[in-house]
């Protein structure tokens, strides 16, 4: 056999082997995905779910379908869910004690996840940061919001505002599930649907698509973030998380006309100060009548 014929023969054999390998990998991937879907369906069907201690009526086929939809959507959004897992270890230790101190069930930390993915984002409607608070709402609860400072981006203060709202909603409706739904639709909106439909159970109300999915999304996020391994995520709590930057509160005199210059004079930089204090929205703090302010600075 000539060298040319040998080359052709070996090339054909190599291509056949490569094709078989690709088919085998495809079959394995398909099988793994099939197992995952079966696992999710069995979990949804037979597990007891609750939100803030209030049971989810899984015996209702329509409720089952709605939760299954949200579980599937979040389980298979791998990159986003992994990042939320990492962020949760950074922000939950801040959020959890504030919820507890204000009598809000711990499950509401997953409402913040549903709202923003624990990121400092702004919606097209103008709702801002972790708890997605509108400007008018934030100001009505005492948050400072102007061109220089926006306390909706202050994790502790915005969490406290969320607690105040949720406590008011709970007093109005008498259950946490409707309180959560009202965070999305507004208390007036939910009350209007209750009056119109003569029904005060979230799971029995006909709502707009966003609000009808809202509580189910929170429950699905709670389920996945509490049990990532059960849904195929390889995640090591305490190891894979985004670590918080060590910082301390420092009282500094006002006004500050050049925050970047102040940072350099205090052995840090503008980027670090903005990252530690996302509620500071620019390079100066001149709008306050106060003579001093507390900001987070790198711990020495």
pLDDT tens sequence across 185-236: 999 999 999 999 999 999 999 999 999 999 999 999 999 999 999 888 888 9
Cα 186 → chain centroid: 19
Give the pLDDT of residue 57.
95
Give the pLDDT of residue 8.
52
- Low-confidence spans in the chain with pLDDT less than 70: 1-46
Give the pLDDT of residue 40.
53
Give the pLDDT of residue 36.
45
Question: What is the pTM assigned to this prediction?
Answer: 0.84
Give the pLDDT of residue 44.
58
Share of the chain above pLDDT 70, in %: 85
Give the pLDDT of residue 32.
41
């Amino acid at each position: 056999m000539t060298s040319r014929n040998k080359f052709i023969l070996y090339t054909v054999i190599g291509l056949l082997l490569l094709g078989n390998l690709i088919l085998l990998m495809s079959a394995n991937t398909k099988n793994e995905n099939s197992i995952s879907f079966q696992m999710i369906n069995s979990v949804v069907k037979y597990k007891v779910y609750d939100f803030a201690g209030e049971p989810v009526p899984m015996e209702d086929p329509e409720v089952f379908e709605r939760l299954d939809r949200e579980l599937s959507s979040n389980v298979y959004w791998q990159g986003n869910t992994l990042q939320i897992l990492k962020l949760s270890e950074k922000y939950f230790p801040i959020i959890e004690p504030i919820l507890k101190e204000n009598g809000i069930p711990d499950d509401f930390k997953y409402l913040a996840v549903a709202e923003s993915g624990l990121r400092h984002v702004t919606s097209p409607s103008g709702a801002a940061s972790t708890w997605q608070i509108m400007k008018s709402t934030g100001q009505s609860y005492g948050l400072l919001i102007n061109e220089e400072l926006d306390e909706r981006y202050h994790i502790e203060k915005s969490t406290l505002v969320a607690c105040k709202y949720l406590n008011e909603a709970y007093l109005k409706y008498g259950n946490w599930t409707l309180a959560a739904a009202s965070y999305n639709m507004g208390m007036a909106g939910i009350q209007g649907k209750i009056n119109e439909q003569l029904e005060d159970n979230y799971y029995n109300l006909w709502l707009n698509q966003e609000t009808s999915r809202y509580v189910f999304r929170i429950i699905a996020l709670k389920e996945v973030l509490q049990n990532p391994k059960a849904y195929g995520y390889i995640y090591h709590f305490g190891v894979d998380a985004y670590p918080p930057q060590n910082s301390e509160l420092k009282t500094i005199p006002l006004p500050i006309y050049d925050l970047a210059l102040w940072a350099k004079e205090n052995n840090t930089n503008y980027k670090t100060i903005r990252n530690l204090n996302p509620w500071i929205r620019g390079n100066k703090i001149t709008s306050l009548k106060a003579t001093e302010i507390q900001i987070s600075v790198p711990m020495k």
